Amino acid sequence: MYQKSILLYLFIFFSFVIQAQDCELAISGKVIDIHDNSPLFGAVVQLVGLNKGVYTDEYGLYKIEGICEGEVQLKVSHPSCEPKTKSIYLKENRQIHFKLEHHLEELNEVLLKGKLYNNESNSSISNQIKTQELEKFSNASLGDALKSISGVSSLNTGNSIVKPIIQGLHSSRVLVINDNVRLHDQQWGVDHAPNVDINSAANITVIKGASALKYGGDAIGGTIVIEPQKAPIKDTVMGKTILNGSSNGRGGSISTSLIKAKSSGFNYRFQGSLKRLGDLRAPDYQLTNTGQRENNISLGIGLNKIDYGIDFSYRLTNSEIGILRASHIGNARDLVNSINRQEPFFIEDFSYTIDSPQQEVTHQIYKLETFKKLKNLGELSLQYSFQQNNRLEFDIRRGGRGDTPAMDMELKTHTLLTQLEWTSLEGFDSNFGLEFNAQNNFANPNTGVRRLIPDYNMYTAGIFATTAYKVSEGWDLDAGVRYDFNTIDADKFYITSRWENLGYDQLFPEFEIGEDGNQILTNPQFDYHNISATVGASYTFKNDFKLIGNLSSASRAPNPSELFSDGLHHSISSIELGDLQLNSEQSFKAGVGFQGVVEKFGFNIQPYINYIEDFIVLEPNGIETTIRGAFPVYEYRQTNARLYGIDVSANYSFDNLELSSNFAYVNGRDVEQNEALIHMPPFNVSNTITYSKKEWNNFYISLNSQLVTQQNAFPDNNFRTDIVNTTTGEFEEVEVDVSSTPEAYHLLNFSSGLDFDFDKTKLSINVMINNVLNTNYRDYLNRLRFYADEVGTNAMLQLKLNY
Amino acid sequence: MKTIKTIKLLSLGLLATLVFSACSDDDDAPQVINEEEVITTLNLKLTPEGGGETIDFIYRDLDADGSNPEIISPALSANTTYTGRVQFLNELENPAEDITIEVLEEAEEHQVFYIVEDSLDATPTYTGALDNDGNPIGVEFSLAIGEASQGNFTVILIHEGDKNVPGASEGDLSPEVGGETDIEVTFDVTVE
């Protein structure tokens, strides 16, 4: 954008002949963005027909001097805005302010800047992925796309369940905000992927830390802000269709979106996508039962009048995901056999069928939002959202029960969010907000399997205030504070002997309600108070280098899984027990961002340190021998943790070549026990070389090399158990190695594409080949790494049509 | 303006519907779930060939979580061959559900293995009907006891293993059999 502005600037300077006249009048004023009242830098203010023009400074100010008395016509334009003209009769010095409306293509970024998340003027350490980059992942998942950001990795269950990890932390420690609605989709589970259709996103911002307090105070790891395509305020119809085909999985996806907008501000929006994939293939074998089906739709209708508006939207994501058959095992002896086998036990021919084990998840979001700009105050907004998450998990079951889900949970969340953006105080941009949440979890009793998560009601109330202050040229400060109250009221059946073994009959006798056979009904009730805060500063140097420093503290109440989990997980053959005595975690994170451009070289360096008190970890603690054999028992423990690391990205371009490089390092330790934290992403480097030529229909060809090293810092969670030797019949003590990490791997990925412009439509063709060399590898951050290799070569063809 | 009113009305109506439908969950106590697939009990009935009293080996864990299992492992007589039959029960149901019937119905997917520790002088042999693929199911067997000895006797029920692996039909549980373990119970057996 700056480049464009500079060009324009030069253009104006050189093409206008400044005429000498005996006129002394002046016009000055300010040009601001109509959406958020932010100053517009680089807008051109011209006197039509007089060959006079100036350029607004970074505060949006302009001044044209030496104008003669008389009728003048002012024209204001900006590279990304609709131009505006105004005629006046000038007889004295005048101040004239302009409010400009951004063009469609820039609209998302503007809204992001002003109304949603302002990552320009505050001290958040953040990165963003734009539409063009996101479209490459049209056939993949949110987590896959986010991995292209340095410092973001993913925790996978197989290849289709991808959970983002931000600077070493994931699940409940990462907030996902979809179109200003915080997702409540049973995000506590490591095998629960966020319910977001990547095709519905126009851009995604990853905030590394808890500085986005308006979305929640519990972002110990960070916040992912997903924004859909916004409708412009003009008469237009915009559409886009993307078709994908992929060789691995022998399927593909289709996604289409349509926005119809009117200059009156009225708009309606449709977006939908379908995905069908069969079993994936590792280089040496078929990954049986890894097919996937997705059906997503989103609809919206709204009226946007600049100073007020109302909008309703509905989103549905529905996915069926097969889970590698070989990952469903019995007891610890099966686990040892699986680890030693090095190859999945169940390998069948390719199929589109999805059998047990599988997940079927449906998530729906209804949102109604309205805003009103108040004179001399700012903008008041009110948003109500309702989310319903239905999760069905089908297990390998006996006696024809395979069609009955082993888990059937329904989570409903109502959220009321009211916010006042107060901008009338010079230099300050402040936000005050209140959030109320009512959540109900219902576990269907017809599964015939005891509830993993009990029925509960949870209510939360949050209040926050944030402000950003422009101190002087280059200097910005911001601060915020938030308080959340959280109360949970659960009804849970414990096996009586379990309740007693855990000592709860002594600790929590007040929760006991009554017994039913060998189970005891209890009513655990807990309240949590959480305080979070952020403070930061940023300084922009004369050469546009920017240095950001941010301190944030987040506080997270234990999630229902950490409190109540109680059951057998077949994928890691372990018994997992929650802990009613857990407290909230509190993190203290310091982050620095340093970014800049020197001619053709750009860089972004983000070091950080995160200290977390009462960090909740899950680890094996003993063995239980049941009628099914022996199982390790995983229990939660609270400790103090410390993470530090650095995310770096850099790019260099010369002629038609561009080199870009990302790397990330994180080190996480349990400082009480002085051991590494589990699932810390290993050091990884990604280098890309791209050759592009605009003249050849935007042709590009790109080769990416991705190196993931072996993680040498991992906790020793190995456990010893007596396993019967099936030949001698003797019990032998075996150390079950669930800790060792896979070797380093290197992948090559290729992509290339062309654009064709037709009258009003544009067709883009892209070819992508992932894992070109069909490399065999396993990834530490895949929970199914014990059972099978990762996927092999995948060639994809993508056709994109914009109209 | 008319459009705005319509939108407002529609939205309000929708909101009301949502609020009411979503809050209609009753707050009554949840229904207890008794695990349907749980196997609480393994009975091993051994009857001396040529007559005599049946000996019952029992592993019973009514909590199914290993906390307080009840294990009954009576002594066997030397130089005796027993006719054996294994029975899996869910005794949380009343009357107790016989899971063995399910195992026999899904015979191709199941096989019971008997693992005898070297120190125990006992030899199990599959008897009884074969499944439709001609492989043993293992619910019925004979156990030939030799001299007085002592050792572990482990009963393992494998689901969806490869029953065609060499040795499997003779009762050798090699890692190649794979599948998943539904039951694994060990008795400390004494032969007198």
pLDDT of res. A125: 87
> Looking at the predicted structure, is the pLDDT value of residue B50 above 70?
yes
Torsion angle of the four alpha carbons A718, A721, A725, A729, in this order, in degrees rounded to the nearest 10? 180
Residue of A593 and A84 predicted with greater confidence: A593
Task: Between A475 and A91, name the one with better pLDDT.
Answer: A475
* CB-based contact, A414 to chain B, within 8 Å: yes
| pLDDT higher than 50, residue A73 | yes
Helix (H) or strand (E) holding A680: none
The arithmetic mean of pLDDT across residues B76-95, rounded, is 92
Residues of chain B found within 8 Å of residue A729, distances taken between Cβ atoms: 115-118, 120, 151-154
- Residues B32-42 have a mean pLDDT of 84
Whether residue A259 contacts residue A205, with contact meaning beta carbons closer than 8 Å, is answered with no
Mutate one of A308, A398, A502 to test the B interface: name it (highest B CB count within 10 A). Answer: A398
> Is B111 a residue whose pLDDT tops 50?
yes
Residues 6 or more apart in contact with residue A122 via CB below 8 angstroms: A211, A468, A476, A478, A536, A538
**Does residue A107 carry a pLDDT above 50?**
no
pLDDT band at A101 (very low <50, low <70, confident <90, very high): low
Give A270 or B23, the one with higher predicted confidence: A270
**Residue B123: what residue type?**
T
Model confidence at A104, pLDDT cuts 50, 70, 90, reads very low
The sign one gets for the Cα dihedral A500, A502, A507, A510 is negative
Using the predicted structure, report yes or no on whether residue B147 has a pLDDT greater than 50: yes
pLDDT for B15 equals 52
Q: Where is A574: in which H helix or E strand?
A: strand A574-577
End-to-end CA distance of chain A: give it in Å, rounded.
Answer: 24
Mean pLDDT, residues A244-251 taken together: 96
Q: Is B27 exposed, middle or buried (0-12, 13-18, 19+ CB in 10 A)?
A: exposed
pTM attached to this predicted model: 0.84
**Confidence band (pLDDT; 50, 70, 90) for A41?**
confident
Nearest to B30 among A266, A491, A501 (CB): A491
Q: What is the pLDDT of residues B177-186, one digit of tens each?
A: 988 899 999 9
pLDDT of residue B107: 92
The secondary structure of chain B in percent helix, strand, coil, rounded to multiples of 5, reads 20, 40, 45
Q: pLDDT: is B46 or A56 the higher one?
A: B46
Query: Chain B, 9-48: which have a CB under 8 Å from a chain A CB?
Result: 10-11, 14-15, 18-19, 22, 25, 27, 29-37, 39-42
Beta-carbon separation of B29 and A345 below 8 A: no
- pLDDT (tens digit per residue) in A424-443: 888 888 999 999 999 999 99
Residue scoring higher pLDDT (A681 or B6): A681
A17-21, A304-308, A409-413, A568-572, range with the lowest pLDDT? A17-21
Distance separating alpha carbons of residues A744 and A683, to the nearest angstrom:
10
Closest CA to A264 of A219, A304, A319: A304
**What is the DSSP track for A392-456?**
EEE---STT-TTS-SEEEEEEEEEEEEEEEE--STTEEEEEEEEEEEEEEEE-GGGSS--SS-EE
Interchain proximity B22–A414, CB inside 8 Å: yes
Percent of chain A surpassing pLDDT 90: 60
| CA pair distance A386, A493, nearest whole angstrom | 28
Q: Quick one: pLDDT at residue A743? A: 96
Domain annotation for chain A: domains and CATH numbers: 2-102 (2.60.40.1120), 227-262+274-802 (2.40.170.20)
Of the pLDDT bands very low, low, confident and very high (cuts 50, 70, 90), residue A117 is very low
Cβ neighbors of A532 (< 8 A, separation 6 or more) are A210, A213, A217, A218, A481, A482, A483, A484, A552, A553, A554, A555
With cut-offs at 50, 70 and 90, classify the pLDDT of residue B8. low
Q: What is the largest CA-CA distance in chain B?
A: 99
What pLDDT does residue A105 have? 40
Task: Evaluate if residue A109 carries a pLDDT over 60.
Answer: no
pLDDT at A115: 35
pLDDT of residue B66: 62
Q: Is A334 on the interface with B (CB under 8 A)?
A: yes
Find residues 598-627 of chain A whose CB sits inside 8 Å of chain B: 624-627
Residue B4: what pLDDT? Answer: 53
pLDDT given for residue A1 in this prediction:
43
Residue A549: what pLDDT?
Answer: 94
Q: Rounded mean pLDDT of A317-330?
A: 92
Residues forming beta bridges with residue A596, ordered by sequence position: A603
Average pLDDT, chain A: 88
What is the ipTM for the molecules in this complex? Answer: 0.84
The answer to whether the CB atoms of A451 and B18 lie below 8 A apart is no
Instruction: Indicate the helix (H) or strand (E) that contains A140.
Output: none
pLDDT of residue A190: 86
pLDDT, tens only, A724-750: 998 898 999 999 898 999 999 999 999
> Which is it for the CA torsion A504, A510, A511, A517, positive or negative?
positive
**Interface contact B180-A501, CB threshold 8 A:** no
B82 touches chain A (CB under 8 A): no
Confidence of residue A23 (pLDDT cuts 50, 70, 90): confident
> pLDDT band for position A80 (50/70/90)?
low
Cα–Cα dist A269/A179, whole Å: 13
For residue A385, name the pLDDT band (cuts at 50, 70, 90).
very high
User: What share of chain A has pLDDT > 70, as a percent?
Assistant: 93
Instruction: Tell me which of A214-223, A382-391, A674-683, B10-19 is least confident.
Output: B10-19
| pLDDT at position A641 | 97
How near does any CA of chain A get to the CA of B40, in Å? 7
Query: What tens digit of pLDDT does each residue of A674-690 get?
Result: 999 999 999 999 999 99
